[in-house]
Amino acid sequence: MKARVTVTLKNGVLDPQGKAIEGALGGLGFDGVASVRQGKVFDVEMRHTEAAAAQAELAEICEKLLANTVIEDYAIELM
């Protein structure tokens, strides 16, 4: 079973990478962009065949390793 985990910064948390991209886009002449925030995505192949078991293990993995829940949110999408 495949899953995609998306980890993004919470609102209000400063995102220097996103700001750097905004600056670079301005320099390249892309005027249509108002703001950019960068996050991470993990494509995970699970051995579980049951969605509930996969979801539960992924949530624990996010809490313990993939996301810093003080400043980041995570979303799990089973495919």
- Is there binding between residue 43 and a second copy (CB under 8 A)? yes
47 makes contact with a second copy (CB under 8 A) = yes
For 10, how many CA atoms within 13 A lie in the half-sphere containing its CB?
9
Give the residue from 39, 13, 10, 36 showing the smallest Cα distance to 23. 36
Contact residue for a second copy among 44, 72, 73, 78 (CB under 8 A): 44
Q: Does 76 bind a second copy (CB under 8 A)?
A: no
Binding residue count for a second copy, defined by CB under 8 A: 34
Handedness of CA 39, 64, 60, 13 (dihedral sign): negative
Residue 30 sits in the site that holds a second copy (CB under 8 A): yes
